[in-house]
Amino acid sequence: MKSAEGRGRTLDEAVDAALIILGESRRNVDIKVLNEGPEETLVEVTVIDHAATSTEMPAADGKGETARSLVEGLLKHMGIRAQVTARPGSEPLTLDISGRDLGALIGWRGETLRALQSVTNVMVGKHLAEGERIIVDVERYRQRREHTVREIALRAARQVKMTGDAITLDAMQAFERRAIHLALEGDPEVTSSSIGEDPERRVVVGLRKPAAE
Amino acid sequence: MPGRAAAGRIRKAIALINAVEDGAGDEEITPTEIAEAIRDCLELSEVDGVPNVRRYLGEALDAVSDGMPADFVAMTLYAALGALQEGNVGGSLN
pLDDT, tens digit only, all 213 positions of chain A: 688 888 888 888 888 888 888 888 776 777 777 877 778 888 888 887 655 544 444 434 678 888 999 999 999 998 998 999 998 877 889 999 999 889 889 988 888 999 999 999 999 988 888 888 899 999 889 888 888 999 999 999 999 999 999 999 998 888 899 899 999 988 999 999 999 887 788 999 999 887 655
Provide the ipTM. 0.80
- Tell me what pLDDT residue B14 has: 93
The count of CB pairs under 8 A between chains A and B is 69
Measure the CA–CA gap between A79 and A92, rounded to whole angstroms: 28
Q: Where are the alpha helices (DSSP H) in A11-49?
A: 11-22
The pairing of beta strand A167-171 with beta strand A94-99: unpaired
Q: Which residue of chain B has the CA closest to A182?
A: B24
Which amino acid is residue B72, in one-letter code?
F
- Tell me which architecture the domain covering B4-86 has in CATH: Up-down Bundle (1.20)
Q: Class of A50-139 per CATH?
A: alpha beta
- Tell me what pLDDT residue A129 has: 83
Q: What 3-state class would DSSP assign to A94?
A: strand
Tens-place pLDDT, residues B13-58: 999 998 887 776 666 788 999 999 999 999 998 889 888 999 999 9
Determine contact, residues A111/A40, Cβ cutoff 8 Å: no
The pairing of beta strand A135-138 with beta strand A94-99: parallel
Residue A178 in contact with partner chain B when CB distance is under 8 A? yes
Q: Is the dihedral of CA A166, A167, A172, A178 positive or negative?
A: negative
Q: Class of A144-207 per CATH?
A: alpha beta
Measure the CA–CA gap between A65 and A62, rounded to whole angstroms: 5
Measure the CA–CA gap between A40 and A86, rounded to whole angstroms: 32
- Tell me what pLDDT residue A56 has: 41
- Tell me what pLDDT residue B93 has: 53
Residue A74 in contact with partner chain B when CB distance is under 8 A? no
Contacts of A202 in chain B (CB under 8 A): none
Largest alpha-carbon pair distance within chain B?
39
Q: What share of chain B is helix, strand, coil (3-state, %, to 5)?
A: 70, 0, 30
Question: For residues A57 and B69, which has the higher predicted lDDT (pLDDT)?
Answer: B69
| CA angle centred on B18, ends B13 and B22, rounded to 5° | 160
